[in-house]
Amino acid sequence: MSKVRETGMKLDIPDVPPSLNRTLRMHWAKKQDIKNSWILLIRQQLNGAYLKPIVKMRCKITLCHARAYDKDNLYGSVKPLVDALRFNRLIMDDTAKYLDLTVEQSQCAHKERHTVIELDPA
């Protein structure tokens, strides 16, 4: 469920993106399906609230899942998620000029996996 704060937003999405190792081996159409599903998952959590930022945003993404990813898989796995944030106009762009991205992970049961996204102006 999304939580809009005065300075930013916190989204709790009931899914975790696949690791980079999995997506690199996928057909391009399947990758597009994953990107589209993240666009819809984020839009569903917004409930009409948009930030429309034109400033640099600080984004902290926490993946809560059963299996830990190594660092390159961790950052690579959130690409469809970051693209969905840009598509839904929660960030201006995914370049370093407009986005300060931090990705973390924590362990939980497989049935309880989820992703937490925290957005604040940098």
Is residue 88 predicted with pLDDT exceeding 80? yes
34 is in which domain, residue-wise?
A: 3-45+55-121
pLDDT tens, 42-52?
988 887 666 66
Q: What is the mean pLDDT of the chain?
A: 88
Of residues 76 and 52, more confidently modeled:
76
For the chain, the farthest-separated pair of C-alpha atoms sits apart, in whole angstroms, at 41
What is the number of structural domains in the chain?
1
> For residue 10, how many other CB atoms are within 10 A of its CB?
16
CATH number, domain containing residue 113? 3.30.1330.70
pLDDT at residue number 54: 76
- CA 17-29-114 angle, to 5 degrees, is 15
Q: Quickly state the pLDDT bin for 60 (edges 50, 70, 90).
A: very high
**pTM: predicted TM-score of the whole model, two decimal places:** 0.86
Would 50 be classed as within a structural domain? Answer: no
In this prediction, residues 95-114 reach a mean pLDDT of 94
